[in-house]
Structure 1
Amino acid sequence: MQHVTDQQWAASVVAEIPRPWAARLLSAWEKRRASFNPLVTTGEGIARRKANEQLRADVALMRPVSDVLPLDASDTDLCNAAWNMAEKCRVKLLTIEAEQEHVRTADFLCAVHAAGVVASATAIDAFEQRTALARICIAGGIAAPEETRYEDLPAVRRMVAAHWWKGRLRKAHGKARETAAINLGVVRRDRECYVSDVSKLDRQWQNERNAAALAATIAKNLETEQEFTLAELAAKGPANAAIKRAELMTRINGFERIAIAAAHTGLFLTITCPSKMHRMKTQGSRVVENGKWDGTTPDEAQRYLAKVWARIRAALARGTKKHPPVSLYGFRIAEPQHDGTPHWHCLFFYPQEDDAHVRATVRRYALEMDGNEPGAQEKRCDFKTMDPAKGTAAGYIAKYIAKNIDGYRLEKDLEGNDALETSARVEAWATRWRIRQFQQIGGPPVTVWRELRRVESVPADSPAHVRKAHAAVNRVALLEGRENASVAWDHYVEAQGGIACGRGYRVRIAKIPGEAVGRYGETGAPQIVGIEYFEVAKVRDAVGNWIDVLPRTVTVESKRFTWEIMRPAASARAGYAARPVTGLDLGLKRAQRAPWTCVNNCTGEGENGRYREVERDGGRGAEGDRRALDHGENRRREASRADARNDQPYPGAVT
């Protein structure tokens, strides 16, 4: 029998752990083995035993998703595991059907032998299938499709699809890896701030895969015959970090203008979690382990903060006998502390006379859990009143928005890290734990705001608030903040009914039932076709006399196009030949019409900060031909670069 050395045994224990963490554990194991008194006869043996026990305990904390998917599994391993689990579910279904058929056959023979009648053959029950496959999901470390959300047959179709398994395994595997990093104590200010390097690298690779897929996939506009890569189209919307940041600042500035006009006060509020939810704590300039940590993960801490805020907002909306209800409006931002535990920054506006009541209500619920622990009164709730003499509230919160998006105009964060590195780590943290970073509080929804950008014009006889909302979104000006300025969020809010409109906002999204059937046999979500509003029209007789009123809902259609998704064929990548992907329609079919703009439905930015509308002929002519040639050349270059990548089955493979 071959002798196994201590080093070989230790290496086998950490074999399925990501290499950076395995090296850290082995280093600590070596130090413990060597920390003994040579004058004590049994010292070396005791040190070896304690080192081995601690190594086993550390590895036990780093639990994988399942036995078939260790923590150091690559994305390829994960995809293979998804295929295997889907195949296991399919085999299980075949087994159930075979057993059911055997029972039906036996019943049939018995019936014929006894009475000469044929027994009824019923189809296998979908609930039975779902129950059997759910046990496979649980054994694989994955939650089965929710019973309250999915019916039996769509749930079964999900569990036999590798695509569904791939998404669930990625989510569970990513959380398991980051939980292991937190348990190991590597997520901290002086090591790997906000998120582990392993998770950051995973997110970086995922972004690169997504970017390659978008760049290699072409969308053809069937109305205008124009072609764009999905990367070009994605850069025109809120998926673009710069556009996302600009839109957030636009909305915050609009809320601030409303507060100034109404003489409301502004409050910058920070809410943190109880100390038992923090993995690490600081002692002066040192970072040490928190002995009171109860194992709470960042997503669990985020749910705690959301519950606290729900109770605060409900209490303010109810009011009391001594104080009327309070309507807050503003934004909240969730960001990580150095050990990954989330905390919230909130910028709220409300009447000045409600200030004491708002602060007391926030303290009541934010300190309800462990409010008497040391430092809770000073650190768990932090209030800062916005002072116009020291700057705008929007300017104060701008650094938090930039830090959580792209590090725009920031050099260092509060921990002294580079702003670009910080924004990348924060983005990886939010993605890993599925945490919503930004949320608007109060006011009308931004969805209608974005849809109004697609509406070319509203009826001239439409209500004043409809015309005002459309003008606030689409009107062009030289300076931001003037009456006729575009991105006038304050005017849009006023047109929708004010900051306290709630769900009673006036202009809404118009939808029609979806006709497409999804991959799991479910009817598609309703399709957005434009905006709608309610009005009371006057009914007149033949001579023009007003004889009645007609309540009605008016729908204004927005500009939408039918797109055909094209992907490069694997056999013709050099020439970038494209093949259509059938069954995918991203718009509503409508009559041929000239495009509003050459690319999207928003106005483009021209010289001196002005906004201009691109030519309505779609950019054709000599200039359009030159752009088309440049576009084709860029696609051929991208195809050549994609050919050099051998790690994908074809350029733009969605993984």
Structure 2
Amino acid sequence: MTCYQRRLTEAPTPPAPFSKLWDAVNKYGTRECRLFRGEHIRRHFPIERELLSAYLSTCRNSGYQRANSQLREYSRALAVTEYRFSATMDDEDIRQLSDQFARKCERAYSKRAIRGDFDGAIEAAKIEVEAQGIEWPADVKQGDSPETARGKQAAAAARAQTPTWWRRKLRVVCGRKVEAVLRDSGAVCSRRAPYLSDWAHRRWLCSQTRNAGLLANLDAVNQDGDIVPLEQCVEASVSNPVNRRHELMTRIGGWEALANAMDLKGLFLTLTCPSAYHAILSQSGQVNPNYNGSTPAEAQQYLCGVWARIRAAWKRAGIKSFGLRVCEPHHDGTPHFHFVLFFSPEHIEPAWEIFQKHALTEDGNEHGAHKHRAVRVDADPTKGSATGYIAKYISKNIDGYGFSTDELGDESGIPPDQNAGRIRAWASLWGIRQFQQIGSCSVTVWRELRKLSEPLDGVDQALAEQLRSAADHGHWAEFVELMGGEHGPFASRNQQAMRALLFIKEKPGQYGEDITHIVGVALRQAAREIAIRTRFTEWMIVPRGAQPCALNLAERSPPPWTCVNNCTPSETSTRQ
């Protein structure tokens, strides 16, 4: 018996904390209805209050028969493994269930693999995975050779037999199942819980605490015996919200300075989903009668599709731009996009016409579509800078820095730091990328060069040192100019002066796949590339307080050059 099943057996009927809600609900329907309600709501007791509130609201508006049907639909949507478990189970239950699924896949795979039936073994494991609503993790492409495809299938089968892989997948599946039901029931809105449910927010906070506890018990150690607490490594990276905000503001400030020097014009654009993608009406807080049942992840797919068509149309029309896209949620969790983009002046109007056309392709004649679905604001230096405009959205979606509740002007009405935490939890739950650079130069190269604090030795190209110096001093505008050359900020990746340098590790990964690792950058020349290493230390993660064996890496030669990086070994920087 799992923890979930044990707590289900021990759960009181009706639970005391919500006795008033139970009393109100039990005024409706027959004795059989009361038994039905008790069975289904008790099965999903972590969200008992939300289910009771939704049931009561439906009873009052549409009658108890409709409320019973709706509760049955919710219970079916929350089911995991044919009603035996609820998606509201806690992490301990997910761990136990992951072990069961991994063993089940292992038995199904081994039963056929032992007879030499590789294809049958793969199919058996695939059936077990997809039965739980999880996509089979083999990314087999049309152009893959039979050997490559077989390797990908084998790696997918290895994943399906690993409890840790199941654990990650079940956390996502369960979280999204519950959140979709709560969003449909009206529990996610500015009047109740903005952006995501309180259940999902508590779950995210627990995961943050769990991860912090894990980091606090791990160290990173290198071949020289240096030991660094792992939480310090995280704090120094862009995983730290403060560092992420600083980097984004540096980049947008550099773009604006570059745009001013080139006489480019800034344009602020907003792209919003049709009303059918919104679960809750913003004014009344009632369930949207035209709601199509889409989740925030599906709404994000819609927005990305529209944006892809806009960019394709711009490319065909010869319109180039660069800037930043911010994705944030409406009060009910439906995403929308904000852009700050820079164009040549003659491209402003054609770009807007294309943007508006594609934004209004679906349900473009609905009420308010022309006002809300595609919004344009022209940058006006007399009213403020582009950096100042986008700073609000960057801060609001990362840590709420620099705003009070009133200044933020947010519909949630909660403090900015807590508001930002809920937005980050929302993005984590639905797998939504909050910030995306549009065009311009590689930020990966920028980050790699910032690892080099000393001038480059042994490189005969002054451009390499100029790029390193610009990155080291945080001069994004200068870095973009140098990277783009004659093409400037509009340079494509193949036109940029540098690219990230990759190599394939000698030892395959846990699932038998090749592991590609960044070791530096490559400076492009007419007939060759000059490789510059930015990473000279190899690290391993060990439990804190352990005495790890010294990594025997000091005498090893630099990582082998492969077809992945296609660089000339003789030009490799060998700084140690």
TM-score interval, smaller chain:
0.7 to 0.9
Contact 2:110/2:121 (8 A) holds in 1: no
Match of 1:142 among 134, 141, 155: 134
Match of 1:419 among 405, 416, 420: 416
Q: Could you tell me how far apart the structure 2 residues matched to 1:7 and 1:335 are?
A: 41
Q: Post-superposition shift, 1:220?
A: 1.9
Map Cα deviations across residues 66-92 of structure 1 (whole Å, 9 max, x no partner): 534412211011111110011111222
2:491 alignment partner in structure 1 = 501
Residues 349 and 32 (structure 1), Cα distance of their counterparts in 2 relative to 1, 3 Å cut: closer
Query: How do 1:323-402 residues align onto structure 2 when only pairs under 5 Å count?
Result: 325-402=318-395
Q: Could you tell me how far apart the structure 2 residues matched to 1:431 and 1:153 are?
A: 29
2:534 alignment partner in structure 1 = 558
Structure with the higher helix share, 1 or 2: 2
Match of 2:312 among 311, 314, 328: 314
Contact 2:500/2:520 (8 A) holds in 1: yes
Query: How do 1:181-192 residues align onto structure 2 when only pairs under 5 Å count?
Result: 181-192=182-193
Residues 290 and 307 (structure 1), Cα distance of their counterparts in 2 relative to 1, 3 Å cut: same
Q: Could you tell me how far apart the structure 2 residues matched to 1:261 and 1:515 are?
A: 47
* 1:487 and 2:487 are equivalent in the alignment: no
Residues 563 and 94 (structure 1), Cα distance of their counterparts in 2 relative to 1, 3 Å cut: closer
**Number of residue pairs the alignment of both structures matches:** 510
Give the fraction of aligned pairs with identical amino acids, expressed as a percent.
Answer: 33
* 1:437 and 2:437 are equivalent in the alignment: no
| Higher alpha-carbon deviation: 21-30 or 138-147 | 21-30
- The normalised TM-score by structure 1 is 0.73
Provide the secondary structure at the position in 2 that maps to 1:281: coil
- The normalised TM-score by structure 2 is 0.83
Residues 217 and 489 (structure 1), Cα distance of their counterparts in 2 relative to 1, 3 Å cut: same
Contact 2:185/2:287 (8 A) holds in 1: no
Contact 1:530/1:556 (8 A) holds in 2: yes
2:463 alignment partner in structure 1 = 465
Q: Could you tell me how far apart the structure 2 residues matched to 1:264 and 1:424 are?
A: 35
Contact 2:113/2:120 (8 A) holds in 1: no
Provide the secondary structure at the position in 2 that maps to 1:462: coil
Map Cα deviations across residues 155-188 of structure 1 (whole Å, 9 max, x no partner): 2211111121111111111111111111111111
Provide the secondary structure at the position in 2 that maps to 1:383: strand
* 1:261 and 2:258 are equivalent in the alignment: no
Residues 272 and 218 (structure 1), Cα distance of their counterparts in 2 relative to 1, 3 Å cut: same
1:208 alignment partner in structure 2 = 209
* 1:281 and 2:281 are equivalent in the alignment: yes
1:16 alignment partner in structure 2 = 43
Q: Post-superposition shift, 1:226?
A: 2.5
Query: How do 1:505-584 residues align onto structure 2 when only pairs under 5 Å count?
Result: 505-525=496-516, 527-535=517-525, 551-568=527-544, 577-580=545-548
Provide the secondary structure at the position in 2 that maps to 1:353: helix
Residues 26 and 312 (structure 1), Cα distance of their counterparts in 2 relative to 1, 3 Å cut: closer
Map Cα deviations across residues 87-117 of structure 1 (whole Å, 9 max, x no partner): 111222343356x3xxxxxxxxxxxxxxxxx
C-alpha root-mean-square deviation of aligned residues, in Å? 2.6
Q: Post-superposition shift, 1:236?
A: 0.9
Q: Could you tell me how far apart the structure 2 residues matched to 1:507 and 1:394 are?
A: 27
1:153 alignment partner in structure 2 = 154
Residues 458 and 535 (structure 1), Cα distance of their counterparts in 2 relative to 1, 3 Å cut: farther
Q: Post-superposition shift, 1:281?
A: 1.5
Residues 242 and 30 (structure 1), Cα distance of their counterparts in 2 relative to 1, 3 Å cut: closer
Q: Post-superposition shift, 1:467?
A: 2.6
Map Cα deviations across residues 32-83 of structure 1 (whole Å, 9 max, x no partner): 77x79xxxxxxxxx97656544543454454547534412211011111110
Larger Rg: 1
Q: Could you tell me how far apart the structure 2 residues matched to 1:461 and 1:516 are?
A: 30
Residues 51 and 377 (structure 1), Cα distance of their counterparts in 2 relative to 1, 3 Å cut: closer
* 1:449 and 2:441 are equivalent in the alignment: no
Q: Post-superposition shift, 1:298?
A: 0.5
Contact 1:561/1:590 (8 A) holds in 2: no
Note the residue ranges of structure 2 that are not aligned, 5 or more in a row.
1-29, 142-148, 558-576
Could you tell me which amino acid in structure 1 is paired with residue 396 of structure 2?
A: K
Note the residue ranges of structure 1 that are not aligned, 5 or more in a row.
37-45, 101-123, 320-324, 475-485, 537-550, 569-576, 593-655
Provide the secondary structure at the position in 2 that maps to 1:248: helix
